[in-house]
Amino acid sequence: MIVRPVQVTDLPALLALVRQAGRGLSALPAEEERLNHRLRWAKRTFAEQVERADADYLFVLEDDDQQVVGVSAVAGAVGLREPWYNYRVGLTVSSSQDLGIQRHMTTLFLSNEMTGQSGLCTLFLRPDQRLGGQGRLLSLSRLLFVAEFPHLFGDKLIAELRGSADEQGCSPFWDSVGRHFFKMDFSHADHLSGLGNKSFIAELMPRQPIYTCLLTEQAQAVIGKPHANSEAALKILSAEGFAHKGYVDIFDAGPVIEAPTSDIRTVRDSQLLDLVIGAPDDQAPVWLIHNRRLENCRVTAAQARQSGHSLVVDRATAKRLQLQPGDSVRAVPLLNQQQQAVAA
Amino acid sequence: MLVLRPVQLTDLPQLQRLAHESLVGVTSLPDDSERLRDKILDSCTSFEQHVQSPGPENYFFVLEDLTNRSLVGCSEILATAGFNEPFYSLRNRHFNSASRELNIEHDVPALSLCHDLSGHTLLRGFHIDAAWVRTAASELLSRARLLFIAAHALRFSDTVITEIVGYSSDEGHSPFWDAVGKHFFDLPYVEAERLCGLESRTFLAELMPQYPIYVPMLPQAAQDCIGRIHPDGQDAFDILEREGFETNSYVDLFDGGPTLYARTGNIRSIAQSHTTEASPGVSIDARGRYLVSNDSLENFRAIVAELDYTPGQPVTLDAGMCAALKVTEGRHVRLIAL
């Protein structure tokens, strides 16, 4: 398995993948023309032809049979073209000493705080592939990429996780808030947002702070809660040092998790090592390895042994990375499930 | 015969009964004898004071049944809402938003805490015994205040407002309160109204929501309360509507009840009332029913009377009327058709 930048020729495979994803992947449009546009844009991004504000690093996960089974992306910066909105979950305190009453009211404040930060997004792995380390490879390869090219990214990385919704795709938070202002179903708003038509958000969003006690109980209960399908992604990134600092999605109140770029485990602990081809033993830990290239980026996960400044991998791994012995790699041990739990 | 007159200290016991029976939402009639006593004294001072422009005065009137000297109702005029303490209400304001691209445009109403209504003259404290609702007596109790304002214009503002009690159930629940105020006060509606009548109102500023409340987010039952009148407040509302009062976009903080508003000069009983001289006697052909008042201050009196009146002529009042109005030959009276 490798993670590499998307190519224009991936279009049919991606279309199939997107259609399979259904509702959960609003950022990747199911319409061919729009998807094609995104692929072309990603290509320009990897060719370093776009500004950070427009950078869209879209990766695919490909197996050894050249089947595309997953996608993930990182945006160079959010909110520098069209404003990026979140709700900050804050507190309003009011008190009357005379009456001996004090009230702590959870309040949602509309905010643009994430402006300029880099954003992890568009994560999808075909359900039959969600075993072993594929999810971690797909998600964390982006972080290794960021580690290699920090000048292309911001001081902070954020990830907006999908919020709670029922099987019909109804979000209780949307029904209590957004619906009154947008006059459309959640899925439609989500779809529009995913298409990149975000000006409607600015035009229709309620700008005044919202007291959560005025929301339905179900809506209050989902504020900051990720959708069940996002739990795995949350675990992986939490182990990397991402944390929820009180910001949520304005549509479904899903949590925004964030981390200072330099504090992210993969970024902080990754090392530059020289590739050595050999035969790592069965007990050798799995490493996340990047060939340090941009346009020809390759990231893979493989058992490897560190020896001084060298990383010993097998021949197949070197081939996947398109590297020769002695070439430089950026690598970090991939935490397994147990270690993840400890780190989180 | 019923006569409207300023309150006196001796009225206290009867006032207590009235306060006890009045609607929960009529907060200016606290069910507390010490507070009532203070109100009476404050009113007496207001009537005695020499006033050139409206201040904190509160004019408290009672409706007395002369046959048995019992009180059947009361009403007040506060010269200036918000003079001593801010007068809070909720402004129902529309936030307009539109997306041309999506062809969506809508007005989202939101309720904002404000004290825009400070400075107006405020009619309040209206309560009448159930037996007299929707009779000439309630017209007298409400509108005699307007005749008083007409007689003593310097004491009042150019604009007059009143709050009509909003809807609450027989068990004392206000859906509007339950959806809004309760979250901020953590008190039942009845208790909150009671506090309003007793304590200084700074607690309102301290606890009421500072940010606008989007109306569509409230439960439907609460939305329906916005501008809705309590059934027992309908009479008061109708009387003032006939006087030319109109609703504006302000509602009560607690129960969402409507505010009525009018320019003083446009109020029917003020603009169309006539003054003339009293002529004691017996009238032969008393065709019309009128509200009649003297133009006095602390001896203000108002009654309902059947009269034979021709504009420009003195009006004949019988002995009972003259006594009730405390007028003699040649004294000025003010009248308006009932």
What separation, in Å, do the N-terminal and C-terminal C-alpha atoms of chain A show? Answer: 26
Residue A224, token pair as written in the block: 């900051």
pLDDT grade, residue B312 (50/70/90)?
confident
Q: What is the mean pLDDT of residues B244-267?
A: 95
Amino acid A342: pLDDT: 56
Cα(A45)–Cα(A40) distance, integer angstroms:
9
Q: pTM above 0.90? A: no
Q: What is the mean pLDDT of residues B60-82?
A: 95
Asked whether residue A45 is assigned to any structural domain, the reply reads yes
CB-nearest to B206 from A94, A203, A211 is A94
Amino acid A337: pLDDT: 58
For the annotated catalytic residues of A, the residue numbers are 227
Q: Are residues A169 and A262 in the same domain?
A: yes
Domain boundary among A221, A243, A267: A267
Asked whether residue A173 is assigned to any structural domain, the reply reads yes
Long-range own/partner contacts, residues B97-101 (CB < 8 A, 24 or more apart): B97/A181, B97/A203, B97/A204, B97/A205, B98/A203, B98/A204, B99/A199, B99/A200, B99/A203, B99/A204, B100/A203, B101/A197, B101/A199, B101/A200
Question: Is A98 within 8 Å of B102 when comparing Cβ atoms?
Answer: no
Cα(B188)–Cα(A284) distance, integer angstroms:
67
What separation, in Å, do the N-terminal and C-terminal C-alpha atoms of chain B show? Answer: 16
DSSP classification of residue A34: H
Amino acid A48: pLDDT: 95
Decide if A204 touches B, using CB distance below 8 A: yes
CA distance A253 to chain B (A): 16
Asked whether residue A282 is assigned to any structural domain, the reply reads yes
Residue A127, token pair as written in the block: 């359900």
Question: Is B185 within 8 Å of A180 when comparing Cβ atoms?
Answer: no
Q: Are residues A275 and A141 in the same domain?
A: no
Amino acid B102: pLDDT: 77
Q: Are residues A251 and A145 in the same domain?
A: no
Q: Cite the DSSP H helix spans in chain A.
A: 11-21, 32-46, 134-148, 172-176, 178-182, 186-194, 199-204, 217-222, 231-239, 265-269, 315-320, 337-343
Please tell me the CATH code under which domain B2-90+113-269 is placed: 3.40.630.30
CATH of the domain at A297: 2.40.40.20
Contacts of A142 (CB under 8 A, 6+ apart): A57, A59, A72, A73, A74, A120
Strands A156-160 and A118-125: parallel
Looking at beta carbons, which residues of chain B come within 8 Å of A192? 102
Cα(B125)–Cα(B61) distance, integer angstroms:
9
Amino acid A341: pLDDT: 54
Decide if B211 touches A, using CB distance below 8 A: yes
Q: What is the mean pLDDT of residues A193-199?
A: 74
Q: Are residues A256 and A276 in the same domain?
A: no
Looking at beta carbons, which residues of chain B come within 8 Å of A107? 211
User: What is the topology classification, in CATH, of domain B273-337?
Assistant: Barwin-like endoglucanases (2.40.40)
* Interval A35-58: pLDDT, tens: 999 999 999 999 999 999 999 999
Could you report the predicted ipTM of this complex, rounded to two decimals? Answer: 0.81
Torsion-angle region of residue A311: left (phi > 0), alpha (psi -120 to 50) or beta?
beta
Q: Are residues A85 and A218 in the same domain?
A: yes
CA A172 to chain centre: 23
Question: Is A180 within 8 Å of B108 when comparing Cβ atoms?
Answer: yes
Q: Are residues A101 and A180 in the same domain?
A: yes
CB-nearest to A200 from B101, B195, B218 is B101
Q: Are residues A194 and A329 in the same domain?
A: no
- Number of structural domains (chain A) is 3
Q: Quick check: A143 and A266 in contact, CB under 8 A?
A: yes
Looking at beta carbons, which residues of chain B come within 8 Å of A211? 183, 209, 211, 213
How many residues does the structure list for chain A? Answer: 344
Question: Is A208 within 8 Å of B218 when comparing Cβ atoms?
Answer: no
Q: Are residues A32 and A178 in the same domain?
A: no
Q: Are residues A284 and A191 in the same domain?
A: no
Domain hosting residue A60, numbered range: 1-75+122-151
Q: Are residues A237 and A90 in the same domain?
A: yes
Kindly list the domain boundaries of chain B, sorted by start residue.
2-90+113-269, 273-337
Q: Are residues A244 and A136 in the same domain?
A: no
Asked whether residue A342 is assigned to any structural domain, the reply reads no
Q: Are residues A168 and A218 in the same domain?
A: yes
CB-nearest to A200 from B102, B110, B199 is B102
Q: Quick check: B106 and A203 in contact, CB under 8 A?
A: no
Asked whether residue A344 is assigned to any structural domain, the reply reads no
DSSP A172-198: HHHHHTHHHHH-S-HHHHHHHHHTT--
Domain boundary among A267, A302, A318: A267
Asked whether residue A142 is assigned to any structural domain, the reply reads yes
Q: Quick check: B245 and B270 in contact, CB under 8 A?
A: no
